[in-house]
Amino acid sequence: MRTIRTVAELRTHLRSSRRAGRTVGLVPTMGALHDGHLALIAAAREAADEVVVSLFVNPTQFNDAGDLDAYPRTEADDAVAAADAGAHVLFAPPVAEVYPDGFASEVRVGGPLTERLEGAHRGAGHFHGVTTVVTKLLNMVGPDVAVFGAKDAQQVLVVRRLVRDLDVPVRIEVVPTVREPDGLARSSRNVRLRPEDRAVAVAIPRALDAASSLLADGERDAAAVRAAAERVLDDAGLRPEYVALADPATLAEREGALPVGPSLLAVAVPVGPVRLIDNVELVVAPSAAGADDPPSTGGLQAATAAG
């Protein structure tokens, strides 16, 4: 695997790869690689001949300077992990390479997709930072396919909209969330959990499971399903920023009886010094619904398939 730090060197390298007829896959990361990232690299290897893993802690998507400062930076370990997973290039630019002196541009996705859930709690500027750096990475790498994780479901929707609206010639693939043995979603922030916080954090996947189980038992009222997750978090002493049961295409909150098809149950929960997010798709089967119920607008995969 080759480590590259400048856009000029990256483009020169990839130009020769493309002349040889090789397709290119991109796995955008902020480093501190874990099994979830390795699953993204594996998917990129299946989809493309050459895999570029970007490693860049993007300052413009942090609304909390303390969170930015505390974000783990482990490039040496990341390089080993990426190489072992089969990546061909680790693109690890310094901040000045991505945002040079005088940088004054921003790429925004407006509307509800960036205003709800994470946008409502972290500010829409968080997603403007995401969409700006993703646009730059897509322009720098020019990949045939870019791979993202389903844990960041809202980010996937926003990136799909960006790619569609700006006619970016890239296919977006989504890989299911990778979890710890006890169900906690893999996250680079997990390393910052103190032992006592880690013991409590398992309430997050248990909350999602409680809602899923209630739905499986026949409950279709959105408020009741949402409350099942909230009770588990409350019993663990956790105070979530949000527990949202939403349309997986628009993120509009579900009310009343859940429609046939998927809904997205998403949570953001502070645990000690760390803010964790997670989500699960809940599906109402046609056999569990009345004949007059309208269908859902579709799940994360279906709703974003045009990207």
CB burial of 12-38 (b: ≥16 within 10 Å; e: otherwise) equals: ebbeebeeeeeebbbbbbbbbbbebbb
> What confidence score (pLDDT) does residue 288 get?
57
* Whole-number Cα distances in Å, 180 to 37, 183, 186, 194, 201: 13, 5, 6, 16, 11
Give me the sheet containing 171-175, strands edge to edge: 2-4, 89-91, 50-55, 24-29, 145-149, 171-175
Is 13 assigned a catalytic role? no
Strands (E), 56-138: 89-91
Q: At the fourth CATH level, which superfamily is domain 188-299? A: Pantoate-beta-alanine ligase, C-terminal domain (3.30.1300.10)
> What confidence score (pLDDT) does residue 291 get?
44
> What confidence score (pLDDT) does residue 80 get?
97
Give me the sheet containing 274-284, strands edge to edge: 242-246, 261-271, 274-284
188 annotated among ligand-binding-site residues: yes
136 annotated among ligand-binding-site residues: no
Is the Cβ–Cβ distance between 39 and 175 less than 8 Å?
A: yes
155 annotated among ligand-binding-site residues: yes
pLDDT in tens, 6-39: 999 999 999 999 999 999 999 999 999 999 999 9
189 annotated among ligand-binding-site residues: yes
152 annotated among ligand-binding-site residues: yes
Is the Cβ–Cβ distance between 31 and 55 less than 8 Å?
A: yes
> What confidence score (pLDDT) does residue 289 get?
54
pLDDT in tens, 166-205: 999 999 999 999 999 999 999 999 999 999 999 999 999 9
CA torsion through residues 160, 164, 165, 166, sign? positive
151 annotated among ligand-binding-site residues: yes
Nearest partner of 186 among 81, 285, 257, 116, judged by Cα: 81
* Residues of the chain below pLDDT 50: 291-292, 297-307
Query: pTM above the 0.85 mark?
Result: yes
> What confidence score (pLDDT) does residue 290 get?
54
Q: At the fourth CATH level, which superfamily is domain 2-175? A: HUPs (3.40.50.620)
Q: Where are the domains of the chain?
A: 2-175, 188-299
Catalytic residue among 13, 37, 88, 128: 37
